[in-house]
Amino acid sequence: MRIHMWSADESGSGVYRAVLPGMSLQWLGHQVTWGMRLPDDWQELDVIVGCRVAKPGVSERWRELKEQGTRLVLDLDDDYLHLDPANVQAYRLWSEPSLRRSLLGNIAEADVVTCCSEPLAAVLREHHDDVRVVPNGLPAQYLGEPRDYSPEVLSVGWAGTASTMNELGVPGVVRALNRIAAYPRPGGVTVRLVGIDAPTAVSRGLAGKRLGALGWVKDFGRYLQAVSAFDVWVAPYRDIPFNRAKFATKFLEASMLGIPLIASDIEPYRRVIRHGENGFLVRHEHEWGRNLKQLADDPDLRQRIGMTARGEASGSILQALNRQWETALMTPAKAAA
């Protein structure tokens, strides 16, 4: 089958919902291309996966594809119908009435809608009868990356973007990170931020000589290399509808790399983390500092949590997900059921 994964961007979203699925479908023998542009011979494609198709130009082409009989799959990796007002730029864009109508119209015209989580699927099923959940995944090679669970300098990390830095406002997080950076552990502790720069970090209240901020990392391979340096990973999230519909991507990345994760006790993280076994869930603000200190003091605990999560990550490799993509892209609703 000729398939094109029509991505909306080249960031992590484009990688997880276009590039990596496309690679995995190639392994099954399909002819797959991906990118933000359609190939020149787009009229000859059998299936097109359109990632958050909504803007006027791509919507017009979406309708042309529908008219010529191409099988259309619309993919969403976030709840663009319930944007966070604190993310001012995105909220203003996706709340614009014509863009919202366009997105809903394109969803209705799709043969299938795919998304990355069950809570998001529940939202989308109000607008389409055939919504399939295909989780995010990573190549199996990351399961074999060696880890040192007793480093001289401990690295506590957070990863995000300018649009997700509001999650650092979760009560207790910044205070816990500032305190752990000053913790009198042999070798010390460094707080590393990936995705925002130092001035932005300081504006959020982070401080200290042991604070490092890498800034935005466009290349996904470089991003994974950067976060693989974390010894402990924190993933704070506000309990809002937009976050509850997310995929637990930070747990996916941390578990594949064998890094113990401390996350807010909200959907989707409570679906995948068993507190104290394969990660930690935080309900109360003082627990950020308590869990960080516990992991900083105990290399055996870091290793046990990290390796338990890693042992369960085999179900999240691309080789375990490509058949799900194949079914979603090619199987009619009744046959799939």
Whether the pLDDT of residue 142 is over 60: the answer is yes
What pLDDT shows up at residue 334? 52
152 and 219 assigned to the same domain: yes
149 and 294 assigned to the same domain: yes
164 and 21 assigned to the same domain: no
Whether the pLDDT of residue 225 is over 90: the answer is yes
Whether the pLDDT of residue 320 is over 80: the answer is yes
Give pLDDT tens digits for 152-206. Answer: 999 999 999 988 999 999 999 999 999 999 999 999 999 999 999 999 999 999 9
What pLDDT shows up at residue 226? 97
Region 92-99 average pLDDT? 93
User: pLDDT grade, residue 333 (50/70/90)?
Assistant: low
CATH of the domain at 295: 3.40.50.2000
227 and 78 assigned to the same domain: no
What pLDDT shows up at residue 235? 98
230 and 102 assigned to the same domain: no
Residue 8 · residue 36 · CB < 8 Å: yes
325 and 204 assigned to the same domain: no
Number of independent structural domains in the chain: 2
| Six-digit token string for 108 | 């209705």
299 and 172 assigned to the same domain: yes
170 and 127 assigned to the same domain: no
What pLDDT shows up at residue 331? 76
- Sign (positive/negative) of CA torsion 74, 59, 41, 39? negative
What pLDDT shows up at residue 10? 87
Provide the mean pLDDT of the chain.
94
193 and 156 assigned to the same domain: yes
101 and 213 assigned to the same domain: no
325 and 310 assigned to the same domain: no
Residue 26 domain boundaries: 2-137+318-336
164 and 307 assigned to the same domain: yes
